Amino acid sequence: MDSKTVAIIGAGAWGTALGCALARGGHTVEAWALEEDVVNDINTVHENKRYLPGYALHPNLSASQDIRKVAAGKDFIIIASPSLYLQSTIRQFADVPNVADGTSIIASLTKGFVPAADGPHLILETMEQALPASYKNSTVYVAGPSHAEEVALGKITGLIAASEHHRNAIRVRDLLRVKGIMAYASFDTVGVQVCAAAKNVIAIAYGSLDALAETSDIFGDNTESLLLAAGLNEIQTLGFAMGATHAETFASVSGVGDLDVTCKSKYGRNRRFGQDIIKTDMLSRFENIDDLIANVKKVGYLPEGAIACKYVHEVAEAKKLKLPICNGLYRVLNKEVTPLAFLNELVGLE
């Protein structure tokens, strides 16, 4: 395997974990972090104590607060910035020579939708608006069932690299094929991006159902599987409405695989948020979904699905889509209906 130079833009848990896996696989990886303590910890004790505490990082992974230095001269640039800061982050390094001339292959791990005047945009579209014109239809989206904790440990994980530029999809797939990662290529960029964003919405509903099932006479494992299957159908409906091209996307690791782990894993923040809605009355801290999104730091962790839920609802209304789980969860987060009433209605009890 040829060793490559890789920039990770955003040293949160997932960016750090993938950077560690790539470094472990023989690549030279440099991560950009906003926080001085994150940079110092990665460089000196080989641990990201803030975002991925307790996991040893490979010494081939280094970090810097200088985003232009990190991006400069790299074969691959992988963006792991939160969706709300995606364009502003990219603009900080868009004119370094290897980006300005289109030499570097640019991929993204960012999940969700980005608000715009004409409705929510997907991640790659948003990225390409901030990049030089040569990146039009050539950026790559990376997704799959991949909790950072297990990737950092080297546990076997499946990922998909999706791009309209087929050669770039294959190049990123090959980069990702290090020990512990089984990587595949896809050319259905819309389908893969919608799966990555919308599965977090379903996982919040799943978490609430899971918490209620602990003391319920009517909800159980069967009900949870019913919700998961119905949720996958909604993701597929949304995906095709937004331009997905391959039905196989929804049966792949980026579809059913990512949905399954997000709903069921102990590491899942969105599942946890759904549980906290029931167990700690989490939503009592917020007036409605807009207040929740504006003050999401009060949660103590980032439930991406709460933000994505608003944008899925906007798309569903604009395209007149029937998405009972996604739209019902929107009503819960907007304080229009209780979680129990939503779930009872969903299974036909109300």
What Cα–Cα distance (Å) separates residue 46 from each residue in 5, 66, 149, 236?
19, 19, 15, 40
Query: How many whole angstroms separate alpha carbon 286 and alpha carbon 155?
Result: 38
- pLDDT in the model for residue 286: 98
Single out the catalytic residue among 4, 111, 199, 310: 199
Chain centroid to CA 10:
13
Low-confidence ranges of the chain (pLDDT < 50): none
Residues 49, 345: Cα–Cα separation, whole Å? 43
8 A C-beta contact, residue 202 and residue 263: yes
pLDDT of residue 1: 64
Instruction: Give the model's pLDDT for residue 234.
Output: 98
Contact present, 11 and 46 (Cβ < 8 Å): no
Instruction: Please name which of 342, 210, 345, 201 lies closest in space to residue 276, comparing C-alpha atoms.
Output: 210
What pLDDT shows up at residue 84? Answer: 82
Told to judge if 74 belongs to the known catalytic residues of this protein, a careful annotator would answer no
Q: What is the pLDDT of residue 348?
A: 83
Instruction: Quote the CA–CA distance of 161 and 144 in Å, as a whole number.
Output: 9
pTM, to two decimals: 0.96
Q: Is the sign of the CA dihedral 241, 195, 25, 31 positive or negative?
A: positive
